[in-house]
């Protein structure tokens, strides 16, 4: 295999199905060929079912030929993060506690994908329970480095063309960070945007989202799911056009430096500054906390986003961690045991206090909405770190998670020749607007 993927011109493959310029069968075969070349080294999958995928791709191809596609993503080759149930594939949750676990039914997001005609090729590696313990996947751009997590396999596979799209989930930084590290497009919807039923994605600020090889596919994939199975119960679910919203130049962008700013590598910072300069040259005002008090208030309210998030998550993990402990404590990683101890040290009152801090941060963020069209940042302090022991620092992405905001990772920055994402955040329920701004930024900065 070639050691690094080509930086390919990311275009929507599904957009070429209607004209016949591309076909679900050809795309699937290209993905399978890439898997042959790279999967042994990358380790993005827990399971691949090429036979079932081929049957599905052929059916999709026929539908396009007869002008009866089920959706804009009919025939798209996708993978499913392995903590989201699939009725026909083992779902391992990144843990020996789920060895051989075979759900009877598809999760909501997988049901939505199948009803939209997507070709489910396999299950992609997740860290243990979509938390912090890595499970061996490597970054396709540099095999000595982490792909990020927890949606490690979806990001790595999409980043090197083994998949056109993958499902991911994010509660701390599990979609935008690995997407940034792997050169893929990541989309973390507003909280509640995509129905999480049938997955181990139950935390209050967690969302199911998409990772894809183009902005258009990241949007269309998520939107097709929400159209069919809605958002989380009680939420409207992702709305807006079924295909990528037209690019729209923002008047003002707010630069969210986050608590991670001092950690930003000089090369990553140079890449970001060069990008910002080109955005300014194209007529956009980039606000910083020095000239925007509302932005300063958001930075202050999210300065401890990581600690607040970890406490909220710990309490919300009382179940099922307690049940896991009762059944097989030896099957849990040190990281899971640590979270269990953290949860047991908390009371309901501690949790309520953390919810109040999160709510205050969200209120500050709402106040910023009148000042900027979107918020930008990076997805990590620099390129993916060397080593597979951690999934990298989430400090730049955890604020957006805590705020419940929709966000996109655009593969338009780099750090020493390795991918780094530009993070574009919107305001809750403004998911389509984020894509309009992100599309414009991509047009300006190039791919």
Looking at beta carbons only, is 319 or 387 nearer to its own copies? 319
Stretch that binds its own copies, among 15-23, 76-84, 196-204, 301-309 (CB under 8 A): 196-204
Integer angstrom CA distances of residue 285 from 99, 133, 253, 270, 295: 52, 40, 6, 19, 14
Cα–Cα separations (whole angstroms), residue 347 to 325, 342, 343: 19, 10, 8
115 binds its own copies (CB under 8 A): yes
State the minimum distance, in angstroms, from the CB of residue 96 to its own copies.
12
- Is 352 among the residues that bind its own copies (CB under 8 A)? yes
Q: Provide the mask over 61-100, with x wherever binding to its own copies is found by CB under 8 A and - wherever it is not.
A: --------------------------x---------xx--
**Cβ of residue 230: shortest distance to its own copies, in angstroms?**
6
The least distance separating its own copies from the CB of residue 86, rounded to whole angstroms, comes to 10
From 239, 283, 307, 387, residue interacting with its own copies (rule: CB under 8 A):
239
Write out the DSSP string of 162-198: S-SEEEEEESSSTTHHHHHHHT-EEEEPSTTSS--TT
Q: Reduced to 3 states, what is the DSSP secondary structure of residue 104?
A: coil
227 contributes a contact to its own copies by CB under 8 A? yes
How many amino acids of this chain bind its own copies (CB under 8 A)?
44
Asked if 226 is part of the footprint of its own copies (rule: CB under 8 A), the reply reads yes
In this structure, are residues 34 and 161 in contact, taking their beta carbons and an 8 Å threshold? yes
Answer yes or no whether residue 112 interacts with its own copies by CB under 8 A. yes
Enclosing H/E stretch for 313: helix 305-316
Q: Does 119 bind its own copies (CB under 8 A)?
A: no
Q: 56 with 119: CB under 8 angstroms?
A: yes
Q: How many CB atoms lie within 10 A of CB 114?
A: 19
Nearer to its own copies, 101 or 280 (CB): 101
Whether the CB-CB separation of 151 and 174 falls below 8 Å is answered with: yes
Q: How far is the CB of 44 from its own copies (least distance, A)?
A: 25
**Residue 202, interface with its own copies (CB under 8 A)?**
yes
Among 5, 24, 180, 198, binds its own copies (CB under 8 A): 198
Q: Which of 129, 187, 324, 427 binds its own copies (CB under 8 A)?
A: 324
Q: Which of 104, 281, 290, 330 binds its own copies (CB under 8 A)?
A: 104
Give the number of C-alpha atoms closer than 13 A to the C-alpha of residue 277, restricted to the C-beta side: 7
Collapse the DSSP code of 262 into the 3-class scheme (helix H, G, I; strand E, B; otherwise coil) and give the result.
helix
Q: Which stretch binds its own copies (CB under 8 A): 34-42, 107-115, 261-269, 430-438?
A: 107-115
Pairing of strands 185-188, 207-212: antiparallel
By CB under 8 A, residue 233 contacts its own copies: yes
Write down the residue that tokens 């009803």 correspond to.
115
Q: Binding its own copies by CB under 8 A: which of 12, 14, 111, 190?
A: 111
407, 393 in Cβ contact below 8 A? no
By three-state DSSP, how is residue 212 classified? strand
Q: Assess 128 for contact with its own copies (CB under 8 A).
A: no
Residues paired with residue 252 on neighbouring β-strands, in sequence order: 285
CA angle at residue 111 from 107 to 113, to 5 degrees?
120
| In the block, residue with structure tokens 């630069």 | 255
Does position 284 bind its own copies by CB under 8 A? no
Residue 315 in contact with its own copies, rule: CB under 8 A: yes
CB nearer its own copies, residue 160 or residue 224: 224
Interacting residues toward its own copies by CB under 8 A: 87, 97-98, 101, 104-108, 111-112, 114-115, 195, 197-198, 202-205, 226-230, 233-234, 236-237, 239, 315-316, 318-320, 322-324, 326-327, 348, 351-352, 355
């Amino acid at each position: 295999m070639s050691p690094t993927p080509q930086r390919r011109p990311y275009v929507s493959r599904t957009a070429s199905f209607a004209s016949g310029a591309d076909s679900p069968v050809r795309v699937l075969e290209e993905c399978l060929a890439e898997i042959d070349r790279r999967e042994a080294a990358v380790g993005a999958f827990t399971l691949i079912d090429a036979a079932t995928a081929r049957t599905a791709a052929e059916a999709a191809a026929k539908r396009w030929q007869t002008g009866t596609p089920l959706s804009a993503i009919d025939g798209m080759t996708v993978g499913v993060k392995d903590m989201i149930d699939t009725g026909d594939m083992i779902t391992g949750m990144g843990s020996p506690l789920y060895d051989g676990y075979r759900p009877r039914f598809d999760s909501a997001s997988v049901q939505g994908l199948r009803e939209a005609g997507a070709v489910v090729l396999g299950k992609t590696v997740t860290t243990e329970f979509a938390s912090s313990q890595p499970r061996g996947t490597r970054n396709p751009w540099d095999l000595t480095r982490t792909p990020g997590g927890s949606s490690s396999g979806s990001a790595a596979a999409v980043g090197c063309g083994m998949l056109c799209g993958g499902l991911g989930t994010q509660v701390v930084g599990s979609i935008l960070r690995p997407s940034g590290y792997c050169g893929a497009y990541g989309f973390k919807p507003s909280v509640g945007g995509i129905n999480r039923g049938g997955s181990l994605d139950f935390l209050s600020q967690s969302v199911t989202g998409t990772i894809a090889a183009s902005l258009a596919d990241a949007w269309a994939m998520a939107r097709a799911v929400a159209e069919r199975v809605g958002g989380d119960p009680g939420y409207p679910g992702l709305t807006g056009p079924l295909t990528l919203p037209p690019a729209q130049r923002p008047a003002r962008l707010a630069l969210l430096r986050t608590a991670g700013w001092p950690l930003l590598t000089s090369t990553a910072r140079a890449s970001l500054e060069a990008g910002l300069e080109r955005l300014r040259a194209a007529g956009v005002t980039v606000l910083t906390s020095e000239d925007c008090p509302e932005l300063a208030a958001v930075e202050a309210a999210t300065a401890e986003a990581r600690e607040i998030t970890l406490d909220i998550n710990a309490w919300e993990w009382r179940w099922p961690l307690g049940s896991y402990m009762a059944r097989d404590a030896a099957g849990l990683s040190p990281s899971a045991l640590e979270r269990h101890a953290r949860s047991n040290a908390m009371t309901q009152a501690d949790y309520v206090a953390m919810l109040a801090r999160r709510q205050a941060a969200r209120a500050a963020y709402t106040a910023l909405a009148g000042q900027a069209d979107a918020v930008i940042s990076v997805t990590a302090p620099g390129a993916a770190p060397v080593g597979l022991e951690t999934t990298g620092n989430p400090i730049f992405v955890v604020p957006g998670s805590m705020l419940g905001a929709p966000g996109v990772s655009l593969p338009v920055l780099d750090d020493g020749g390795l991918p780094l994402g530009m993070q574009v955040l919107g305001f809750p329920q403004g998911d389509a607007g984020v894509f309009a701004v992100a599309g414009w930024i991509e047009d300006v900065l190039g791919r």
